[in-house]
Amino acid sequence: MEKAKQRLDLGLRFFCIVLFSFLVLLVSWQVVTRFVFNAPSSFSEEFAKYCFVWLALFGAALVFGEKGHIAVSFVKERFSAPFRHVIHWLTELITSAFAVLVMIIGGTQLMLLTWSQTSASLGVPIGLLYSAIPISGIFIVIYCGFHMHALTKTAPKQK
C-alpha cells in the first residue's frame, strides 16, 4: 500500500512540476510578445489559465496526500489518544464525502455541462478545464483511503 502511495506521489509531483514549468514558459512568452514585439500572443493567456487551474487542483491533491495543509492541531492534542484517533477517522470521512459529492459528482456534472462550449483562443472544450475537478477529487479520495489504511495500523490499544 505504501509503494502505491509513493508512486502516486511521484506521478503527481512530476505532473505538477511539468505544469508549473509550462506555466512559467507561457507567462514569459506572453510578457515577451506583449512588451518586446508589441503583439501579444493570443493563446498563451488562456493556456496559462488552464495550466494554473490544473496545477492548483492537482497540487492541492498532492499536498493533501502528504498531509501538508494547514491544521489546527493544538485543539486536537488536548484530547486523549483514542478520541484523537476518532477525530482523524472523522476528518478523513468528511473529506472523502466532500471529494465525492462536490468534486467528483459535481465536477463531472460541470464538466459535462460545459463540454459543448469551446474556448475563444484555443478552440478546445471548456469542459477540459473543468475536468481537473473530478480527477483531483479522485486523487483526494484515493489519498483518504491511504490515510485510513494507515490509521488502522496505528489504532490506540484498548486497556
Q: Which of 56-65, 66-75, 132-141 has the lowest mean pLDDT?
A: 66-75
Please give the average per-residue pLDDT across 27-47, as a whole number: 89
Quick one: 78 exposed, middle or buried, by C-beta within 10 A (0-12, 13-18, 19+)? exposed
Tell me the pLDDT tens digit for each residue of 80-138: 888 888 988 999 999 999 999 999 999 999 999 999 999 888 889 999 999 999 999 99
Q: What mean pLDDT is reported for the chain?
A: 91
Tell me the DSSP string of 110-139: HHHHHTT-B-TTT-SBHHHHHTHHHHHHHH
**pLDDT for res 94:** 95
Tell me the pLDDT tens digit for each residue of 4-31: 999 999 999 999 999 999 999 999 999 9
**pLDDT for res 68:** 86
Please give the average per-residue pLDDT across 63-74, as a whole number: 84
Q: What is the pTM of this model?
A: 0.89
